[in-house]
A = this chain, B = another copy of it.
Amino acid sequence: MNKDEPYISKAVIARLPRYYRYLGDLIDDGIERISSKELSSRMKTTASQIRQDLNKFGGFGQQGYGYNVIYLYNEIGKILGIDKKNNIIIIGAGNIGQALAKYADFEKKGFIIKAMFDIDKDLFGKKIREIPVYRLDDMESYLMQNDIQIATLACPKDNVDEIVKKVVNCGVKAIWNFTHTDLKVPKNVMVENVHLSESLMQLSYKLSSSLAEDNL
């Protein structure tokens, strides 16, 4: 990103993957051009929001002509940093770690899971969909010898501070965190949390407050 580029709000960034998903679906449907109006109706948002959001990144559209779907898809991909490969390791080869490893869809978006690490010696040397499971003790030497962009934490939260320290010391700048804890990382290390229990609690809140409203 260039210094001259405008500040992009969190809300816009959070919407970009959704644009990317819808544009991918349009490509699958063989649609080459789409107006902001038609795209907004599919996405249940407003045409003006779409124009505003995409203008932040230089527009991409032509008045009265709509967006070139493949071009816009690729440009958003570049903004999201998925035009290049992101190599990933998964720490913790338990249920969540294995489910992520088996999920081939990430690869289509350039996220390549290269290795998993665990402390369970029964898992050492096993492969989960071609992805090898190594000893957690070997993680640092692996990270020093391989080009890894993202570390996924799918381990119990007990030793997570120590693991994060090692990962960060080895130069990894992005952590995808499935543990139920807030990580302590330096400012230049990016974290994205997936707190499944908390997501379920938010759903439970919505449900219980909507049922209470029905009963008024």
Interface membership of A109, Cβ < 8 A: yes
A21 to B202, CA, bound (A): 13
Copies, count: 2
Q: Is the CB of A174 within 8 A of B204?
A: yes
- Cβ < 8 Å to B, chain A residues 1-43: 1-3, 13-14, 16-18, 20-21, 43
Contact of A205 among B43, B80, B201, B203 (CB under 8 A): B80
A190 an interface residue at 8 Å Cβ cutoff?
A: yes
Determine the distance from Cα of A196 to Cα of B198 in the docked complex, in whole angstroms: 15
User: What is the bound-complex CA distance between A212 and B13, given in angstroms?
Assistant: 16
Residue of B nearest to A206 (CB): B190
Residue of B nearest to A22 (CB): B182
- Among A173, A202, A216, chain B packs the most CB atoms within 10 A around the CB of A202
Interface residues of A (CB under 8 A from B): 1-3, 13-14, 16-18, 20-21, 43-44, 79-82, 86, 95-96, 98-100, 102-103, 105-106, 109, 111, 149-150, 173-176, 180, 182, 188, 190-192, 194-214, 216
